[in-house]
Amino acid sequence: MALSFAALEAGLAQLPPPAADNGSVALVVVRPGVDRRETPDCVRLTVESGLEGDRWSLRSGPDPQNQITLMRSDTARLIADGQPLELFGDNLIVELDLSESNLPAGTRIRIGTALCEVTPLPHTGCSKFRARFGGDALEFVNGPAYKALRLRGIHVRVIEPGEVSTGDAATVVSRPT
């Protein structure tokens, strides 16, 4: 059952502040096809295909601005309310502050051995998010009070290829000046 907006607000208020600079990867998710999810321990990120094996690279004219998606693990657990975190469809569930103030577009993050860059493209959720987690959850992540926190997540593109495993560091390397 989906949580109400009020329950999500109360839950968010109880969460400790996320790591600003030195976080970690809590879960890796590959989407090989529509509504299919795999959670390997390790994946390769490349400039050409994003997360290898993910359906992003199979799209017609894939856009590097939405190559890989990240979502905060504590927020995902709150919204999922006991459901598997891979339902979100985000490639990397991380323990890191994804807010606009902490990770503005152009910020570079070392995730495992790969180097990624935050893109300006907003990640706002879709009809699948609404169907899985409810209208209140979609309103919550996109509402004016929380939009800058990017509770739904962010997009990154791969700058340098590398390996990413569950438990790896997700470290801010640089922010735009």
Digit-coded pLDDT (tens) for 124-173: 887 889 999 999 999 999 999 999 999 999 999 999 999 999 999 999 99
Q: Has residue 60 got a pLDDT over 80? A: no
Under DSSP, is residue 51 helix (H, G, I), strand (E, B) or coil? Answer: strand
Residue 64's CATH number: 2.40.33.20
pLDDT tens-digit series, residues 2-49: 899 999 999 999 999 999 999 999 999 999 988 899 999 999 999 999
In this structure, are residues 168 and 45 in contact, taking their beta carbons and an 8 Å threshold? no
Q: How far is CA 95 from the centre of its chain?
A: 10
d(CA 122, CA 175): 18
111 forms beta bridges with 114, 170
Domain containing 120: what range? 5-174
When pLDDT is averaged across residues 55-84 and rounded to a whole number, the result is 92
The letter for the amino acid at 41 is: D
Q: Kindly report the pTM of this predicted structure.
A: 0.95
Segment holding 132, helix H or strand E = helix 127-133
End-to-end CA distance of the chain: 43
What three-state secondary structure class fits 30? Answer: strand
Output the pLDDT for position 148: 96
**What's the number of domains the chain is made of?**
1
Give dist(CA 76, CA 66) in Å, integer.
19
User: 153: burial class by Cβ within 10 Å (0-12, 13-18, 19+)?
Assistant: buried
